[in-house]
Chain A
Amino acid sequence: NAGVTQTPKFRVLKTGQSMTLLCAQDMNHEYMYWYRQDPGMGLRLIHYSVGEGTTAKGEVPDGYNVSRLKKQNFLLGLESAAPSQTSVYFCASSPRYGGRETTGELFFGEGSRLTVL
């Protein structure tokens, strides 16, 4: 039972390089999210998707782009990496709201640690 899988788990980039983080979920969830985690700041929402073909901006979207061409995949792209994007990135998924039982329960991947030099 894979759940939410993120690749790669570690990556080092030079300033200005581009890369894509891939998130795949096998739970048939409608909603998917990308968060970044920085020390002392908790997790902050970058972008999210409420269904295949849809994306929306979160709290800190600048410098990132996303795509959800297939329901099970959510890609996070950095077009021109900057040192400020050094962080741990978490993908999460959630079923469509179906009442109290499904409210707020996000399923997280194990994270992708990105360093930008």
Chain B
Amino acid sequence: AQSVTQLGSHVSVSEGALVLLRCNYSSSVPPYLFWYVQYPNQGLQLLLKYTTGATLVKGINGFEAEFKKSETSFHLTKPSAHMSDAAEYFCAVSFSGGYNKLIFGAGTRLAVHP
């Protein structure tokens, strides 16, 4: 069975500071891993994904994430936070043959203050 745990339901950073959102997964088969972002009153949109190959993946808006199999982690980072990054972020997992069904973590709300 697959599951996702996001550490910290709320994270607050200063503008210009490092953003680190944590995600750990559990999967009995090789996982595909994703980060989605949700802005207020909107649907989710894909930030980045890991399927195979390079373990450091870059996404939109300057975000990146690194797949670490030994730690079963897929943490999301951004070197310098912008006010526009304030949103809710969801880590998700799927697997080959799973019809793209995503299993989501509980989400982390990122606040960015001046």
Please tell me if B67 contacts chain A, counting CB pairs below 8 Å: no
Please tell me if A94 contacts chain B, counting CB pairs below 8 Å: yes
Known: A40-B9, A42-B107. A104 touches B43 (CB 8 A): no
Known: A40-B106, A43-B104, A103-B100. A108 touches B43 (CB 8 A): yes
Please tell me if B84 contacts chain A, counting CB pairs below 8 Å: no
Q: Interface of B with A (CB < 8 Å)?
A: 4, 9, 32, 34, 41-46, 49, 51-53, 90, 92, 94, 99-107
A sample of 19 cross-chain residue pairs with beta-carbon separation below 8 angstroms, ordered by A number, consists of A31-B99, A31-B100, A35-B104, A40-B9, A44-B104, A45-B103, A50-B99, A59-B103, A90-B44, A92-B43, A94-B100, A100-B51, A100-B53, A103-B49, A104-B51, A104-B100, A105-B46, A109-B43, A111-B43
